[in-house]
């Protein structure tokens, strides 16, 4: 069998200007939704530290978004703040259009913005069901549609969706959240099939219990007993998986769901 010589020249021609550590490559633009706090903030910091210009989205908490941007800039990176509600289609599309007008491209999209509003099904009001679906699942559609159009034109893109073990296993008290996150897994797999021939990868990271404001009201001491690794995860551990999917090392990986859950699934 003929052996293939994967020298540096072959490697570069397979992956034109995608390497953010290549000083000749133009800076990639990344959009991270829900980057003012928690996992999204860590993802934004990691992407900026690996040479990307990061658009830091938030919906309410401007001060926290400014803290994310300051941390990016203090570390020598670049970014900007972009407020919009991912659950609102008009706002999302206007924001994406504005980024594309300014930068001409978005190479990396991390659909991270999410909320939980837990209640047993028998007590769940229709608005609680709808709001969680609108943010966690329709938010993906609202933000991704125009971004992916641009990626197809540019023949390059990396999309990472943040799902959850609740979407994989189902969680009592979370029919809304579990349904939205399971939907996101389906959308990840379907979109990857639509666009992978255009050098666009679409993957999902599925965290377990991560220490953020979202989980601060949960009895984490009890929950960790059920986790094989006997501890909650950190936003940094989730961000590492996201940055991996955005790297050249992951250029042939698409349609995958990577668990960062301490062994729960
Ligand atoms: P946090 O509650 O700490 O942060 C949520 C972020 O999402 C904030 O930046 C918030 O902005 C933003 N956000 C919320 N709603 C909207 C909206 N409508 N439009 C734009 N931004 C919005 O959450 P985590 O960091 O814990 O979670 C991040 C993602 O990871 C979510 O998708 C979550 O479902 C998922 N996840 C989290 C797990 C965990 O254990 N923490 C486990 C599994 C998945 P603002 O500050 O302005 O409110």
pLDDT band, residue 3 (cuts 50/70/90): very low
Within-domain flag for 72:
yes
pLDDT tens sequence across 32-67: 999 999 999 999 999 999 999 999 999 999 999 999
From first CA to last CA, the distance across the chain in angstroms is: 39
Per-residue pLDDT, 20: 57
Which pTM does this prediction carry? 0.94
Element (H, E) at 110: strand 108-111
Flag whether 16 is in a domain: no
Task: Please say if the pLDDT value at position 126 is more than 90.
Answer: yes
Instruction: For residue 2, tell me if it sits in a domain.
Output: no
Fill in the DSSP letter of residue 243: H
Which region, left, alpha or beta, applies to residue 173 given φ > 0 means left and ψ of -120 to 50 means alpha?
left
> Alpha-carbon distance 73 to 221, whole Å?
35
Q: Is the CB of 38 under 6 A from ligand 1?
A: yes
The confidence score (pLDDT) of residue 22 equals 64
- Does residue 211 fall inside a structural domain? yes
pLDDT level of residue 112 (50, 70, 90 thresholds): very high
Provide the pLDDT for residue 21. 56
Using alpha carbons only, give the angle 34, 175, 217 rounded to the nearest 5 degrees. 55
The C-alpha angle 127, 132, 135, rounded to 5 degrees, equals 120
In a domain, 11, yes or no: no
Average pLDDT, the chain: 93
**CB of 113 closer than 6 A to ligand 1?**
yes
218: domain CATH number is: 3.40.50.720
Please tell me the distance from the alpha carbon of residue 224 to that of residue 23, in angstroms, as a whole number: 43
Is there a contact between 65 and 83 (Cβ–Cβ < 8 Å)? yes
207 lines ligand 1 (CB under 6 A): yes
Give the model's confidence band at 25: pLDDT under 50 very low, under 70 low, under 90 confident, else very high: confident
In a domain, 13, yes or no: no
Q: If pLDDT is split at 50, 70 and 90, which confidence band does 19 have?
A: low
Judge whether residue 226 has pLDDT over 50. yes
Nearest CA to ligand 1 atom 44: 164
Q: Give residue-wise pLDDT tens across range 138-187.
A: 999 999 999 999 999 999 999 999 999 999 999 999 999 999 999 999 99
Residue 34 phi/psi, 5° resolution? Answer: 60, 50
Instruction: Quote the pLDDT of residue 15.
Output: 44
Q: Name the residue range of residue 118's domain.
A: 27-260
Say what the pLDDT of residue 24 is: 72
Percent of the chain with pLDDT over 70: 91
Contact of 147 with 106, CB cutoff 8 Å = yes
Domain count, the chain: 1
Q: Would the CB of 82 count as within 6 Å of ligand 1? A: no
Q: Is the pLDDT of residue 89 over 80?
A: yes
Q: Report d(CA 133, CA 128) in Å as an integer.
A: 9
What span, in angstroms and rounded, lies between the C-alpha atoms of 236 and 39? 7
What is the whole-number distance in angstroms between the Cα of residue 157 and the centre of ligand 1? 23
Please report, rounded to a whole number, the percentage of residues in the chain having pLDDT higher than 90. Answer: 89
Residue 20 domain-assigned?
A: no
- Residue 177 annotated among the catalytic residues of the structure: yes
**Of 11, 9, 244, nearest in space to 110 by CA:** 244
Residue 8 domain-assigned?
no
DSSP letters, 193-212, are HHHGGGTEEEEEEEE-SB-S
Among 18-22, 146-150, 206-210, 234-238, which stretch is predicted with the lowest mean pLDDT?
18-22
Distance CA 234, CA 207 (A): 10
């Amino acid at each position: 069998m003929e052996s293939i010589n994967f020298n540096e020249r072959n490697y570069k021609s397979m992956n034109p200007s995608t390497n953010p550590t290549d000083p000749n490559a133009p800076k990639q633009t990344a959009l991270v939704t829900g980057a003012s706090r928690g996992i999204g903030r860590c993802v934004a910091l990691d992407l900026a530290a690996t040479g990307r210009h990061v658009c830091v989205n938030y919906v309410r908490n401007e001060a926290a978004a400014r803290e994310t941007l300051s941390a990016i800039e203090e570390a020598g990176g670049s970014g900007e703040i972009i407020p919009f509600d991912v659950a609102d289609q008009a706002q999302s599309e206007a924001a994406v259009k504005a980024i594309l007008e300014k930068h001409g491209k978005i190479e990396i999209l991390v659909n991270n913005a999410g909320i939980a509003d837990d209640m047993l099904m028998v007590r769940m009001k229709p608005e609680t069901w709808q709001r969680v679906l609108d943010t966690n699942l329709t938010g993906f559609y609202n933000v991704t549609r125009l971004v992916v159009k641009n990626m197809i034109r540019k023949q390059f893109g990396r999309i990472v969706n943040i799902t959850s073990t609740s979407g994989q296993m189902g969680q009592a008290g979370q029919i809304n959240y579990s349904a939205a996150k399971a939907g996101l897994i389906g959308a990840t797999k379907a979109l990857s099939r639509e666009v992978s021939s255009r050098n666009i990868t679409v993957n999902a990271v599925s965290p377990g219990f991560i220490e953020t404001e979202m989980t601060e009201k949960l009895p984490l001491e009890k929950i960790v007993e059920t986790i094989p690794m006997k501890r909650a995860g950190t936003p940094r551990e989730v961000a590492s998986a996201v940055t991996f999917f955005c790297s050249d090392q992951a250029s042939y990986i698409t349609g995958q769901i990577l668990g960062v859950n301490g062994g729960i699934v």
